[in-house]
Chains A and B, each alone.
Chain A
């Protein structure tokens, strides 16, 4: 079945630094990838939609300069949290979509802690 690999699973970084999270579709080409953020005991919040070869579409209220998304190939999307602050600490999850009515496959998530 379709597998999405997300790396790293956990990362701790200092305030002011940038962190890159990778999302790879291992056995299929993803026409679209999505990035979500999840706070403790809360549901997933969609941050942005990433399309291969074009600019990401950000949801309202998500800072595009803060959360840089690059989808350079059909198998890789990256989320870079720039100039991270403690309030950026969260669980970040990516998802890939095959297209059409196919299901969505999710990565295992990245726990980001900014100290």
Chain B
């Protein structure tokens, strides 16, 4: 199963873009990259996911390198409410294993005013 590596913590100024990197050098061709975040004492919240192409939604953008060995989650205008732990996850397993999501340590993003 592909593993991910993220920096343990990052700071970002309010109103600026937050760029959260993730390395997944052992990702296989049919594995997706998912991003979730968890605000203290809540369940994780889905942000975005992608396979090969860059993706954008109302919350964020996901930039995946051409070799797919790394990706960057971009929060275009970070607010104090974006302070959370951000998890980059590579979807593991085949259908018979239920496509479980395995969480790493994540990145603590602190948005500061």
- The residues of A with any CB-CB pair to B shorter than 8 Å are 4, 6, 32, 34, 36, 43-46, 49, 51, 57, 91, 93, 95, 97, 101, 103-109, 111
Contact = CB atoms under 8 A, between A and B. Distances in A.
Interface of B: 32, 34, 36, 38, 41-46, 49, 51, 85, 87, 91, 97-106
Nearest to B30: A101
Given A32-B99, A51-B98, A97-B98, A106 B104 contact: no
Contacts of B34: 103-104
Given A43-B103, A44-B103, A32 B98 contact: yes
A43 B98 contact: no
Nearest to B38: A44
A96 B76 CA distance: 28
A91 B32 CA distance: 27
